[in-house]
Amino acid sequence: MFNKRLSSVTLNSGEVYPRTNDKTICYLKNIIKNPNIIIGDFTFYHDFNKPEKFESQNVLYHYPINNDKLIIGKFCSIACGTKFIFNAANHTLKSFSTYPFPLFLTELKVTESWDNKGDIIIGNDVWIGFDAVIMSGVHIGNGAIIGTRAVVTKDVPPYTIVGGIPAKIIRKRFDDTVIEILQKIKWWDWEPEIIIENIDAIRNGDIEQLKSIMLKLETS
């Protein structure tokens, strides 16, 4: 179980810039101030110019009056230019006019200017490609991959690759049996030391080894 090759390696989610002398990658959890943006450990954002501006430049139309949330799990990889478009960007379709009259008429509620589709929820170990756009109300499952410049308007199942405008399913990453096992194992919830010790099994797709580790953790 113990990986001697990586015995001196540690994962530290408390760092802002996890790579030495590289300020193009940051752990998002450590730079976010908005309580309606909830980020898991080790999820990073890469940007060629100041990734620490993620909150203001990548999370858009996210106004406090809506109380809508961006929730992203652990160990997600978010590429440069990814945008999360929230509910205030949605002009209402319930009216005969899409013009946002409530924005300018104080007698009306501002939130009636748009349709509220809910929070954006991203699972764990999700890879979001360059310039992708995630729309309000979308839920993305664990282990999913979002292709470059995809526009995601619908939910994405776990361990599924999507791409295009609007994004459509390209294929599943693994067969259903493996996906079900991975959903139960939830390696991203293991202690960092356990992950490091078993990094080869995770990276090489050794599902039997991961099942064995899960059993040991459940019985310990």
What is the per-residue pLDDT across 5-16, written as a single tens digit (0 to 9) for each? Answer: 444 456 787 889
Nearest to 81 by CA among 37, 129, 40: 129
Domain limits, the chain: 9-173, 175-220
Write down the CATH superfamily of domain 9-173: Hexapeptide repeat proteins (2.160.10.10)
Distance from C-alpha of 142 to C-alpha of 179, rounded to nearest angstrom: 10
Q: What is the mean pLDDT of residues 74-87?
A: 98
- Specify the pTM: 0.92
Task: Encode pLDDT of 92-114 as tens digits.
Answer: 998 999 999 999 998 999 999 99
Distance from C-alpha of 29 to C-alpha of 17, rounded to nearest angstrom: 11
Structure tokens at 138: 């979308």
- Mean pLDDT, the chain, as a whole number? 93
Q: What is the mean pLDDT of residues 35-58?
A: 96
Given 46, 62, 91, 139, the catalytic residue: 91
Q: What share of the chain has pLDDT > 90, as a percent?
A: 88
Nearest to 160 by CA among 136, 144, 176: 144
Give catalytic status of residue 91 as yes or no. Answer: yes
CB 25 within 8 A of CB 51: yes
Residue-level pLDDT at 14: 82
Distance from C-alpha of 100 to C-alpha of 97, rounded to nearest angstrom: 8
Residue-level pLDDT at 2: 44
Task: Encode pLDDT of 121-152 as tens digits.
Answer: 999 999 999 999 999 999 999 999 999 999 99
Task: Encode pLDDT of 160-182 as tens digits.
Answer: 999 999 999 999 999 999 999 99
Residue-level pLDDT at 8: 47
Angle, vertex CA 181, rays to CA 178 and CA 186, nearest 5: 125
Residue-level pLDDT at 1: 44
Helix axes 207-219, 176-185, angle to 10 degrees: 30
Q: pLDDT confidence of 77, banded at 50, 70, 90?
A: very high
